[in-house]
Amino acid sequence: MRTFLRPHFIGGPAWQRLREDGRRLLELAARVARHAFEGDVSRLCAFLGTPEAEARWVRLDPGAPDVVLSRLDAFLAPGGPRFIEVNSDAPAGFGYGDRMAELFTQLPIFRAFARAHRVSYRPSIPALTEAVLRAASARGGSSVTVAIVDWEEVKTRADQQILREAFVARGARCLLADPRSIERRGGRLIAGGQAVDVVYRRAVLSELVDREDEVRDFLRAYAEGAAVFVNSFRCRLSEDKAFLALLTDEAFAPMLTQDERALVARTVPWTRKLEERRTTKDGREVDLLSFVRDHRAGLVLKPAHGYGGRDVLIGDETAPAEWDEAVHAGAGQPWVVQERVSIPEEPFPTFEEGSLRFEMLNVNANPFYVLGSEAGAVTRASRGAVINVSAGGGSVPMFVVG
Protein backbone atom coordinates (compact mmCIF):
# COMPACT_ATOMS: atom_id res chain seq x y z
CA MET A 1 0.00 0.00 0.00
CA ARG A 2 1.56 3.25 -1.09
CA THR A 3 1.11 5.96 1.51
CA PHE A 4 2.32 9.51 2.11
CA LEU A 5 4.23 11.20 4.92
CA ARG A 6 1.31 12.76 6.73
CA PRO A 7 -2.33 11.87 7.44
CA HIS A 8 -5.30 13.87 6.22
CA PHE A 9 -6.84 16.35 8.64
CA ILE A 10 -10.47 17.44 8.44
CA GLY A 11 -12.30 19.95 10.64
CA GLY A 12 -15.07 18.80 12.97
CA PRO A 13 -17.97 20.51 11.15
CA ALA A 14 -16.82 19.15 7.77
CA TRP A 15 -16.55 15.66 9.25
CA GLN A 16 -20.07 15.82 10.70
CA ARG A 17 -21.43 16.95 7.34
CA LEU A 18 -19.56 14.19 5.50
CA ARG A 19 -20.70 11.38 7.78
CA GLU A 20 -24.32 12.53 8.05
CA ASP A 21 -24.87 13.28 4.37
CA GLY A 22 -23.28 9.95 3.48
CA ARG A 23 -25.49 8.08 5.94
CA ARG A 24 -28.64 9.65 4.52
CA LEU A 25 -27.56 8.96 0.94
CA LEU A 26 -26.91 5.28 1.70
CA GLU A 27 -30.32 4.92 3.37
CA LEU A 28 -31.92 6.42 0.29
CA ALA A 29 -29.92 4.19 -2.06
CA ALA A 30 -30.89 1.04 -0.14
CA ARG A 31 -34.57 1.93 -0.29
CA VAL A 32 -34.52 2.83 -3.97
CA ALA A 33 -32.61 -0.34 -4.86
CA ARG A 34 -35.32 -2.41 -3.15
CA HIS A 35 -38.34 -0.55 -4.54
CA ALA A 36 -37.35 0.85 -7.95
CA PHE A 37 -39.48 -0.43 -10.83
CA GLU A 38 -42.08 -1.64 -8.31
CA GLY A 39 -39.52 -3.93 -6.72
CA ASP A 40 -38.81 -5.80 -9.96
CA VAL A 41 -35.06 -6.50 -9.79
CA SER A 42 -34.98 -7.71 -13.39
CA ARG A 43 -36.26 -4.34 -14.63
CA LEU A 44 -33.74 -2.50 -12.45
CA CYS A 45 -30.94 -4.68 -13.84
CA ALA A 46 -32.17 -3.89 -17.34
CA PHE A 47 -32.05 -0.15 -16.60
CA LEU A 48 -28.54 -0.44 -15.17
CA GLY A 49 -27.38 -2.64 -18.04
CA THR A 50 -26.26 -5.34 -15.63
CA PRO A 51 -24.69 -8.21 -17.59
CA GLU A 52 -26.92 -11.29 -17.45
CA ALA A 53 -24.05 -13.35 -16.01
CA GLU A 54 -24.21 -11.08 -12.94
CA ALA A 55 -27.93 -10.33 -12.99
CA ARG A 56 -28.91 -13.96 -12.42
CA TRP A 57 -27.04 -13.87 -9.11
CA VAL A 58 -28.34 -10.42 -8.18
CA ARG A 59 -31.91 -11.62 -8.68
CA LEU A 60 -31.47 -14.17 -5.88
CA ASP A 61 -32.79 -12.56 -2.70
CA PRO A 62 -31.03 -13.73 0.48
CA GLY A 63 -33.05 -11.23 2.52
CA ALA A 64 -32.15 -7.89 4.01
CA PRO A 65 -29.76 -6.28 4.56
CA ASP A 66 -28.42 -6.22 1.03
CA VAL A 67 -25.44 -4.16 2.17
CA VAL A 68 -23.59 -4.46 5.47
CA LEU A 69 -20.30 -2.79 4.49
CA SER A 70 -19.97 0.27 2.24
CA ARG A 71 -17.51 2.96 1.30
CA LEU A 72 -18.44 6.25 -0.33
CA ASP A 73 -16.08 8.24 -2.53
CA ALA A 74 -16.45 11.98 -2.06
CA PHE A 75 -14.79 15.30 -2.77
CA LEU A 76 -14.98 17.86 0.01
CA ALA A 77 -16.30 21.17 -1.31
CA PRO A 78 -17.03 24.42 0.56
CA GLY A 79 -20.76 23.66 0.35
CA GLY A 80 -20.36 20.11 1.64
CA PRO A 81 -19.35 16.72 0.26
CA ARG A 82 -20.02 15.62 -3.30
CA PHE A 83 -20.34 11.84 -3.58
CA ILE A 84 -19.24 10.46 -6.93
CA GLU A 85 -19.47 6.71 -6.29
CA VAL A 86 -20.93 4.10 -3.95
CA ASN A 87 -18.65 1.12 -3.25
CA SER A 88 -20.50 -1.80 -1.74
CA ASP A 89 -19.23 -4.78 -3.70
CA ALA A 90 -16.31 -5.76 -1.46
CA PRO A 91 -15.06 -2.30 -0.33
CA ALA A 92 -11.42 -2.42 0.79
CA GLY A 93 -9.34 -0.33 3.17
CA PHE A 94 -10.91 -0.91 6.61
CA GLY A 95 -7.77 -2.59 7.92
CA TYR A 96 -5.25 -0.37 6.16
CA GLY A 97 -6.74 2.83 7.58
CA ASP A 98 -6.62 1.72 11.19
CA ARG A 99 -3.10 0.28 10.91
CA MET A 100 -1.76 3.45 9.29
CA ALA A 101 -3.43 5.56 11.98
CA GLU A 102 -1.63 3.51 14.65
CA LEU A 103 1.69 4.20 12.96
CA PHE A 104 1.12 7.93 12.58
CA THR A 105 0.06 8.39 16.21
CA GLN A 106 3.38 6.85 17.34
CA LEU A 107 5.45 9.50 15.55
CA PRO A 108 6.99 12.23 17.77
CA ILE A 109 5.87 14.96 15.36
CA PHE A 110 2.27 13.72 15.50
CA ARG A 111 2.37 13.54 19.30
CA ALA A 112 3.57 17.13 19.42
CA PHE A 113 0.74 18.15 17.08
CA ALA A 114 -1.82 16.29 19.23
CA ARG A 115 -0.63 18.15 22.34
CA ALA A 116 -1.37 21.47 20.64
CA HIS A 117 -4.64 20.49 18.92
CA ARG A 118 -7.66 18.37 19.79
CA VAL A 119 -7.33 15.54 17.29
CA SER A 120 -9.26 12.27 17.10
CA TYR A 121 -9.48 9.19 14.95
CA ARG A 122 -12.55 7.01 14.38
CA PRO A 123 -11.45 3.37 13.95
CA SER A 124 -13.18 1.20 11.36
CA ILE A 125 -12.22 -2.35 12.30
CA PRO A 126 -14.32 -2.72 15.50
CA ALA A 127 -17.59 -1.96 13.70
CA LEU A 128 -16.71 -4.27 10.81
CA THR A 129 -15.82 -7.25 12.99
CA GLU A 130 -18.89 -6.73 15.19
CA ALA A 131 -21.22 -6.66 12.17
CA VAL A 132 -19.71 -9.75 10.53
CA LEU A 133 -19.77 -11.74 13.78
CA ARG A 134 -23.35 -10.65 14.44
CA ALA A 135 -24.31 -11.92 10.98
CA ALA A 136 -22.68 -15.25 11.82
CA SER A 137 -24.52 -15.52 15.14
CA ALA A 138 -27.79 -15.88 13.24
CA ARG A 139 -26.71 -19.42 12.38
CA GLY A 140 -26.37 -20.36 16.04
CA GLY A 141 -23.56 -22.34 17.61
CA SER A 142 -21.11 -21.54 20.38
CA SER A 143 -18.19 -20.65 18.10
CA VAL A 144 -17.86 -18.79 14.82
CA THR A 145 -15.68 -19.44 11.80
CA VAL A 146 -15.15 -16.56 9.39
CA ALA A 147 -13.66 -16.92 5.92
CA ILE A 148 -12.28 -13.79 4.25
CA VAL A 149 -12.62 -14.81 0.62
CA ASP A 150 -10.60 -13.25 -2.20
CA TRP A 151 -8.15 -14.28 -4.87
CA GLU A 152 -4.88 -15.34 -3.31
CA GLU A 153 -2.85 -13.05 -5.58
CA VAL A 154 -4.68 -9.76 -4.88
CA LYS A 155 -2.60 -6.74 -3.91
CA THR A 156 -4.86 -6.00 -0.93
CA ARG A 157 -4.02 -9.28 0.83
CA ALA A 158 -2.29 -7.38 3.65
CA ASP A 159 -5.52 -5.49 4.42
CA GLN A 160 -7.24 -8.85 4.82
CA GLN A 161 -4.48 -10.17 7.07
CA ILE A 162 -4.95 -7.17 9.36
CA LEU A 163 -8.67 -7.93 9.57
CA ARG A 164 -8.02 -11.62 10.17
CA GLU A 165 -5.98 -10.66 13.26
CA ALA A 166 -8.91 -8.56 14.47
CA PHE A 167 -11.40 -11.44 14.13
CA VAL A 168 -9.06 -13.79 16.00
CA ALA A 169 -8.66 -11.19 18.76
CA ARG A 170 -12.46 -11.26 19.10
CA GLY A 171 -12.35 -15.02 19.72
CA ALA A 172 -13.45 -16.17 16.26
CA ARG A 173 -11.72 -18.64 14.01
CA CYS A 174 -10.77 -16.80 10.83
CA LEU A 175 -8.97 -17.84 7.68
CA LEU A 176 -8.11 -16.32 4.33
CA ALA A 177 -9.51 -18.40 1.50
CA ASP A 178 -9.37 -18.29 -2.28
CA PRO A 179 -12.83 -18.81 -3.87
CA ARG A 180 -11.26 -21.43 -6.13
CA SER A 181 -10.52 -23.60 -3.08
CA ILE A 182 -14.04 -23.47 -1.60
CA GLU A 183 -15.97 -26.74 -1.38
CA ARG A 184 -19.58 -27.68 -0.62
CA ARG A 185 -19.92 -30.64 1.67
CA GLY A 186 -22.90 -31.84 3.71
CA GLY A 187 -24.81 -28.63 3.06
CA ARG A 188 -21.97 -26.48 4.39
CA LEU A 189 -19.36 -24.24 2.80
CA ILE A 190 -15.89 -25.65 3.49
CA ALA A 191 -12.69 -23.59 3.39
CA GLY A 192 -9.31 -24.89 4.48
CA GLY A 193 -10.98 -28.05 5.75
CA GLN A 194 -13.28 -26.07 8.08
CA ALA A 195 -17.03 -25.48 7.94
CA VAL A 196 -17.59 -21.73 7.55
CA ASP A 197 -20.39 -19.78 9.23
CA VAL A 198 -19.93 -16.44 7.49
CA VAL A 199 -18.12 -15.36 4.34
CA TYR A 200 -16.63 -11.89 4.44
CA ARG A 201 -16.53 -11.53 0.67
CA ARG A 202 -13.74 -9.49 -0.88
CA ALA A 203 -13.85 -11.00 -4.39
CA VAL A 204 -16.09 -8.78 -6.53
CA LEU A 205 -19.04 -10.31 -8.37
CA SER A 206 -17.84 -9.42 -11.88
CA GLU A 207 -14.60 -11.35 -11.38
CA LEU A 208 -16.41 -14.29 -9.83
CA VAL A 209 -18.75 -14.72 -12.79
CA ASP A 210 -15.88 -14.23 -15.24
CA ARG A 211 -14.23 -17.26 -13.62
CA GLU A 212 -17.40 -19.17 -12.83
CA ASP A 213 -15.99 -22.54 -13.87
CA GLU A 214 -13.24 -22.12 -11.27
CA VAL A 215 -15.52 -21.03 -8.40
CA ARG A 216 -18.63 -23.10 -9.06
CA ASP A 217 -18.86 -24.50 -5.51
CA PHE A 218 -18.48 -21.03 -4.01
CA LEU A 219 -21.34 -19.65 -6.10
CA ARG A 220 -23.56 -22.67 -5.43
CA ALA A 221 -22.93 -22.29 -1.71
CA TYR A 222 -24.23 -18.74 -1.98
CA ALA A 223 -27.35 -19.84 -3.88
CA GLU A 224 -28.05 -22.59 -1.34
CA GLY A 225 -27.47 -20.41 1.72
CA ALA A 226 -24.67 -22.67 2.91
CA ALA A 227 -23.16 -19.70 4.79
CA VAL A 228 -24.01 -16.06 5.49
CA PHE A 229 -22.41 -13.75 2.91
CA VAL A 230 -21.28 -10.22 3.77
CA ASN A 231 -22.02 -8.48 1.46
CA SER A 232 -24.68 -10.33 -0.49
CA PHE A 233 -24.60 -10.10 -4.29
CA ARG A 234 -27.59 -7.73 -4.08
CA CYS A 235 -25.13 -4.98 -3.15
CA ARG A 236 -24.21 -4.92 -6.85
CA LEU A 237 -27.28 -2.76 -7.55
CA SER A 238 -26.29 0.39 -5.65
CA GLU A 239 -22.62 -0.19 -6.51
CA ASP A 240 -23.37 0.33 -10.20
CA LYS A 241 -22.23 3.72 -11.52
CA ALA A 242 -25.54 3.99 -13.38
CA PHE A 243 -27.38 3.84 -10.05
CA LEU A 244 -26.50 7.49 -9.45
CA ALA A 245 -28.18 8.22 -12.80
CA LEU A 246 -31.34 6.76 -11.37
CA LEU A 247 -31.11 9.00 -8.30
CA THR A 248 -30.41 12.21 -10.25
CA ASP A 249 -32.58 11.65 -13.36
CA GLU A 250 -35.76 13.72 -13.55
CA ALA A 251 -37.61 10.66 -14.86
CA PHE A 252 -37.32 9.03 -11.43
CA ALA A 253 -37.87 12.14 -9.28
CA PRO A 254 -41.35 10.95 -8.14
CA MET A 255 -39.63 8.13 -6.22
CA LEU A 256 -38.08 10.70 -3.88
CA THR A 257 -39.55 13.17 -1.43
CA GLN A 258 -38.80 16.85 -1.86
CA ASP A 259 -36.26 16.67 0.96
CA GLU A 260 -34.57 13.64 -0.62
CA ARG A 261 -34.39 15.35 -4.00
CA ALA A 262 -32.73 18.32 -2.31
CA LEU A 263 -30.20 16.01 -0.63
CA VAL A 264 -29.35 14.33 -3.95
CA ALA A 265 -29.04 17.67 -5.75
CA ARG A 266 -26.65 18.94 -3.08
CA THR A 267 -24.49 15.86 -2.66
CA VAL A 268 -24.52 13.94 -5.98
CA PRO A 269 -23.21 15.41 -9.26
CA TRP A 270 -25.50 15.32 -12.30
CA THR A 271 -25.21 11.78 -13.73
CA ARG A 272 -26.84 10.13 -16.77
CA LYS A 273 -26.59 6.88 -18.65
CA LEU A 274 -24.84 7.60 -21.94
CA GLU A 275 -27.63 7.16 -24.49
CA GLU A 276 -29.57 8.92 -27.21
CA ARG A 277 -32.29 10.86 -25.39
CA ARG A 278 -33.39 14.26 -24.21
CA THR A 279 -32.95 15.18 -20.58
CA THR A 280 -32.57 18.20 -18.31
CA LYS A 281 -29.39 19.92 -17.20
CA ASP A 282 -29.50 22.95 -14.91
CA GLY A 283 -33.22 23.33 -15.51
CA ARG A 284 -33.19 23.25 -19.31
CA GLU A 285 -33.82 20.45 -21.77
CA VAL A 286 -30.86 19.25 -23.82
CA ASP A 287 -30.03 16.53 -26.31
CA LEU A 288 -27.82 14.35 -24.15
CA LEU A 289 -25.20 13.13 -26.63
CA SER A 290 -24.83 16.55 -28.26
CA PHE A 291 -24.46 18.12 -24.84
CA VAL A 292 -21.80 15.61 -23.83
CA ARG A 293 -19.80 16.26 -27.01
CA ASP A 294 -20.04 20.05 -26.68
CA HIS A 295 -19.25 20.28 -22.94
CA ARG A 296 -16.32 17.91 -22.65
CA ALA A 297 -14.33 20.08 -20.22
CA GLY A 298 -16.94 19.87 -17.47
CA LEU A 299 -17.73 16.16 -17.73
CA VAL A 300 -16.36 12.68 -16.98
CA LEU A 301 -17.09 9.43 -18.82
CA LYS A 302 -16.82 6.11 -17.01
CA PRO A 303 -17.94 2.50 -17.51
CA ALA A 304 -20.98 1.77 -15.37
CA HIS A 305 -19.63 -1.54 -14.16
CA GLY A 306 -15.97 -0.60 -13.78
CA TYR A 307 -13.90 -0.24 -10.64
CA GLY A 308 -10.35 0.69 -9.73
CA GLY A 309 -10.42 3.82 -11.88
CA ARG A 310 -10.20 1.79 -15.09
CA ASP A 311 -11.10 3.45 -18.40
CA VAL A 312 -12.28 6.71 -16.77
CA LEU A 313 -12.02 9.66 -19.17
CA ILE A 314 -11.63 13.16 -17.69
CA GLY A 315 -13.03 15.59 -20.25
CA ASP A 316 -10.44 18.38 -20.04
CA GLU A 317 -7.63 15.80 -20.03
CA THR A 318 -8.93 13.99 -23.11
CA ALA A 319 -8.31 15.06 -26.72
CA PRO A 320 -11.53 16.16 -28.51
CA ALA A 321 -11.27 13.40 -31.13
CA GLU A 322 -10.76 10.73 -28.47
CA TRP A 323 -13.71 12.12 -26.49
CA ASP A 324 -16.02 12.09 -29.50
CA GLU A 325 -14.97 8.55 -30.30
CA ALA A 326 -15.69 7.47 -26.72
CA VAL A 327 -19.14 9.10 -26.80
CA HIS A 328 -19.95 7.34 -30.06
CA ALA A 329 -18.69 3.97 -28.83
CA GLY A 330 -20.29 4.23 -25.39
CA ALA A 331 -23.74 5.45 -26.42
CA GLY A 332 -26.28 2.79 -25.55
CA GLN A 333 -23.60 0.73 -23.77
CA PRO A 334 -23.27 0.52 -19.98
CA TRP A 335 -21.44 3.85 -19.69
CA VAL A 336 -22.32 6.94 -17.70
CA VAL A 337 -21.53 10.61 -18.02
CA GLN A 338 -21.10 12.63 -14.87
CA GLU A 339 -20.60 16.29 -14.13
CA ARG A 340 -17.01 16.85 -13.14
CA VAL A 341 -16.58 17.91 -9.52
CA SER A 342 -13.79 20.26 -8.50
CA ILE A 343 -11.01 18.20 -6.93
CA PRO A 344 -9.47 19.58 -3.72
CA GLU A 345 -5.69 19.83 -3.55
CA GLU A 346 -3.53 19.73 -0.43
CA PRO A 347 0.23 19.84 0.16
CA PHE A 348 1.86 16.53 1.13
CA PRO A 349 5.51 15.90 1.94
CA THR A 350 7.09 13.35 -0.38
CA PHE A 351 10.49 11.70 -0.16
CA GLU A 352 11.79 10.45 -3.47
CA GLU A 353 15.31 9.82 -4.74
CA GLY A 354 16.79 11.03 -1.47
CA SER A 355 14.98 14.38 -1.54
CA LEU A 356 12.22 15.72 0.73
CA ARG A 357 9.77 18.19 -0.82
CA PHE A 358 6.17 19.28 -0.64
CA GLU A 359 3.83 18.49 -3.49
CA MET A 360 0.20 19.44 -4.16
CA LEU A 361 -1.88 16.27 -4.48
CA ASN A 362 -5.52 15.66 -5.36
CA VAL A 363 -7.47 14.17 -2.47
CA ASN A 364 -10.84 12.57 -1.90
CA ALA A 365 -12.54 11.49 1.31
CA ASN A 366 -13.85 7.96 1.69
CA PRO A 367 -16.11 7.37 4.70
CA PHE A 368 -16.89 3.78 5.68
CA TYR A 369 -20.35 2.63 6.75
CA VAL A 370 -21.33 -0.53 8.60
CA LEU A 371 -25.04 -1.39 8.65
CA GLY A 372 -25.73 2.19 7.61
CA SER A 373 -23.77 3.80 10.45
CA GLU A 374 -20.54 5.71 9.89
CA ALA A 375 -17.40 3.75 10.78
CA GLY A 376 -14.45 6.04 10.15
CA ALA A 377 -12.82 7.04 6.88
CA VAL A 378 -9.67 7.03 4.82
CA THR A 379 -8.37 9.59 2.36
CA ARG A 380 -6.86 8.78 -1.01
CA ALA A 381 -4.33 11.06 -2.67
CA SER A 382 -2.93 11.13 -6.18
CA ARG A 383 -1.07 13.28 -8.64
CA GLY A 384 -3.72 12.48 -11.25
CA ALA A 385 -7.40 13.37 -11.44
CA VAL A 386 -8.40 9.69 -11.22
CA ILE A 387 -7.80 9.11 -7.53
CA ASN A 388 -7.61 5.40 -6.96
CA VAL A 389 -5.07 3.14 -5.31
CA SER A 390 -5.36 0.64 -8.16
CA ALA A 391 -4.70 3.50 -10.59
CA GLY A 392 -1.49 4.57 -8.83
CA GLY A 393 -2.75 6.69 -5.95
CA GLY A 394 -2.05 6.25 -2.26
CA SER A 395 -4.01 6.17 0.97
CA VAL A 396 -3.70 7.87 4.35
CA PRO A 397 -5.86 7.83 7.49
CA MET A 398 -8.26 10.68 8.21
CA PHE A 399 -8.06 12.50 11.54
CA VAL A 400 -10.63 15.00 12.81
CA VAL A 401 -9.29 18.25 14.29
CA GLY A 402 -11.40 20.34 16.64
Does the pLDDT at position 4 exceed 90?
A: no
Amino acid 308: pLDDT: 52
Report how far residue 222's alpha carbon sits from residue 66's, in angstroms, rounded to the nearest whole number. Answer: 14
Same domain, 228 and 320: no
- At 370-401, the pLDDT tens digits run 998 999 999 998 887 666 665 567 889 999 99
Report how far residue 302's alpha carbon sits from residue 336's, in angstroms, rounded to the nearest whole number. Answer: 6
With beta carbons less than 8 A apart as the criterion, state whether 340 and 2 touch: no
Residue 321 domain-assigned?
yes
The CATH number of whichever domain residue 330 belongs to comes to: 3.30.1490
Residue 262 domain-assigned?
no
Amino acid 306: pLDDT: 63
Same domain, 164 and 222: yes
The CATH number of whichever domain residue 148 belongs to comes to: 3.40.50.1760
Q: Domain total for the chain?
A: 2
Same domain, 219 and 322: no
SS (H, E, C) 291-314: HHHHCHHHEEEEECCCCCCCCCEE
Q: Which residues contact 221 (CB under 8 A, 6 or more apart)?
A: 182, 184, 189, 227
Chosen domain end from 321, 339, 357: 339
Same domain, 176 and 50: yes
Same domain, 233 and 274: no
Same domain, 49 and 148: yes
Residue 253 domain-assigned?
no
Same domain, 151 and 280: no
- At 122-135, the pLDDT tens digits run 999 999 999 999 98
Amino acid 141: pLDDT: 63
Same domain, 109 and 23: yes
Q: What is the gyration radius of the CA atoms in the chain, in angstroms?
A: 21
Residue 356 domain-assigned?
no
**Dihedral angle over CA of 24, 238, 244, 29, nearest 10:** -30
Report how far residue 281's alpha carbon sits from residue 319's, in angstroms, rounded to the nearest whole number. Answer: 24
Q: List, edge to edge, every strand of the sheet that includes 188-191.
A: 183-185, 188-191, 194-196
Amino acid 384: pLDDT: 76
Count other C-beta atoms under 10 Å from residue 141's C-beta.
10
Report how far residue 300's alpha carbon sits from residue 317's, in angstroms, rounded to the nearest whole number. Answer: 10
With beta carbons less than 8 A apart as the criterion, state whether 70 and 88 touch: yes
Residue 100 domain-assigned?
yes
Global pTM exceeds 0.85: yes
- At 334-345, the pLDDT tens digits run 899 999 998 999
How far is the CA of 162 from the CAs of 69, 94, 131, 168, 237, in angstroms?
17, 9, 17, 10, 28
The whole-number average pLDDT for the span 312-332 is: 92
- Mean pLDDT across the chain, nearest whole number? 91
Chosen domain end from 339, 363, 387: 339
Short-list 51, 46, 91, CA closest to 206: 51
Report how far residue 92's alpha carbon sits from residue 95's, in angstroms, rounded to the nearest whole number. Answer: 8
Report how far residue 163's alpha carbon sits from residue 240's, in angstroms, rounded to the nearest whole number. Answer: 26
Same domain, 176 and 34: yes
Same domain, 26 and 159: yes
Residue 178 domain-assigned?
yes
Same domain, 190 and 316: no
Share of the chain above pLDDT 70, in %: 95
Question: Strands 299-303, 313-314: parallel, antiparallel or unpaired by DSSP?
Answer: antiparallel
Tell me the H-state helices in 229-305. 236-239, 243-248, 258-267, 288-294
Same domain, 101 and 194: yes
Residue 155 domain-assigned?
yes
Domain extent, residue 325, equals: 270-339
- At 225-270, the pLDDT tens digits run 999 999 999 998 888 888 999 899 998 889 999 999 999 999 999 9
Residue 345 domain-assigned?
no
With beta carbons less than 8 A apart as the criterion, state whether 326 and 318 touch: yes
